[in-house]
Structure 1
Amino acid sequence: MVYTIRRSSREDWREFRTLRLAALSDPVAPVAFFEPYEEALQLTRVEWERRAAGRGTVVFAGELDGGAWAGMVGVCREERWAQVVGVYLLPEHRGTGLAARLMGAAIDWAGGREVRLRVHEANARAARFYTSLGFRPTGVRDSDPDDLSFGAYEMVLRPGPG
């Protein structure tokens, strides 16, 4: 597969919405996303445009020839660190290297800052992937608001010397 990795814009709202709804309806969604599918369905076009435009969070899309999105990752920068959110690939694009390319774009955009993310403790596949990129657990843990017997933990990628 040939993917184009690029920042999304307001005009990408339809592709963003389609992929986000696919993410929220995926069987792994309960351990990957805290936004319920039913709530996302109620969002207005203006809200989808705002999200696609990256106000607060920049979205990188893995786009196929023809414009359909195969995957995405969001990242927001703070003064000293960046937070990765909303990582998702359609099932048929997993294992193709797209996730690593999207994360690479997010890490590059972080501009040498420490990069943080949270992974649900029941999402072992995601944890292995992030570990393969150099992320390490920080020891910070959050509870899942929908199921207090599960939680998410923070992982960090610290910039190398230089």
Structure 2
Amino acid sequence: MDHVTIRSERDGDEPGIAAAHIAAWLASIESDGARVMRVDEKDWIQQRRIRLAGVDGPTTLVAEVSDAIVGHLTWGRGPGGRSSAHRIWSCYVDPSYWGTGVACRLITVALAELAGVAVDLEVHGDNLRARRFYERHGFRNCATSHTGARGLIRYLTRPGASGLHAAQPDGTICVCSRASSDLPAPGWPAGNSCRSEVSPALGAR
């Protein structure tokens, strides 16, 4: 896979963010047996702006390959900043890049940026792939918001929690560079290809 750059969102990124998000959402919906013909990109962008207006201090990272946005992650506090935790509101990667480590790089950089604070998120109970992904990055199941298999489960990572790819004291992060359908489990053999690098867009702190 070509080099992946993780950087902050900038003007003009909305169409690329929308395209990656919609593609991932459609792939997920269709895997559940539903069929959606199309999603209006302009409407999606407008709805995203409305949602982000209710988030305190929203921050979005994008993953870019060959100048094309292939994924994004957004965090921020809830309305009014009532919670001390920062919430990951969305994390989506174009299905063409599932299993390539792009999502791993997004969450790793985000958690490095949020070092020292609690971070939470919600995921559907039957989304086992996502649940495994977040658990391997230090998140733990702390509450079920609704009943049923598709009920939302709240995950939380505490300040200082060490996930699979923790930030190092010098600001480098370990990123998964092998292609696989899932992330390796904690304690994976050193022979697998994992390397440390500083995000080219954000740099070390």
TM-score normalised per structure 2: 0.61
Give the aligned partner of residue 165 of structure 2. none
Q: 1:91 Cα deviation (Å)?
A: 2.0
| Aligned counterpart, 1:153 | 153
3-state SS, counterpart of residue 118 of structure 1: strand
Q: Secondary structure at the match of 1:10?
A: coil
Alignment of 1:4-153 (within 5 A): 4-28=5-29, 41=41, 43=43, 47=46, 50=49, 56=55, 57-65=58-66, 67-77=67-77, 78=81, 80-138=84-142, 140-143=143-146, 150-153=150-153
Residues 94 and 126 (structure 1 numbering): CA distance in 2 closer, same or farther, change over 3 Å? Answer: same
Residue 130 of structure 1 deviates from its aligned partner by 0.8
| Cα root mean square deviation, aligned | 3.0
Runs of 5+ unmatched residues, structure 1 = none
1:23 to partner: Cα distance = 2.5
- Describe the shift of the 1:59–1:48 C-alpha distance in structure 2 as closer, same or farther (beyond 3 A): farther
1:56-88, Cα deviation, whole Å (9 max, x unpaired) = 3221111011x2112111111446211012211
Percent identity between matched residues is 26
How far apart, CA to CA, are the structure 2 residues paired with 1:118 and 1:88?
13
Give unmatched runs, 5+ long, in structure 2: 162-205
Taking structure 1 as reference, are residues 37 and 58 closer, same or farther at Cα in structure 2, changes over 3 Å only? farther
Greater C-alpha Rg: 2
Residue 13 of structure 1 contacts residue 49 of structure 1 at CA under 8 Å; is this kept in 2? no
Question: 1: CA distance between counterparts of 2:37 and 2:140?
Answer: 30
Amino acid at match of 2:18: R
Q: How has the CA–CA distance of structure 1 residues 76 and 26 changed in structure 2, closer, same or farther, with 3 Å as cutoff?
A: same
CA contact (8 A) 1:10 1:49 kept: no
Distance 1:4 1:29, change over 3 A: farther
- Give distance in 2, aligned partners of 1:40 and 1:30: 20
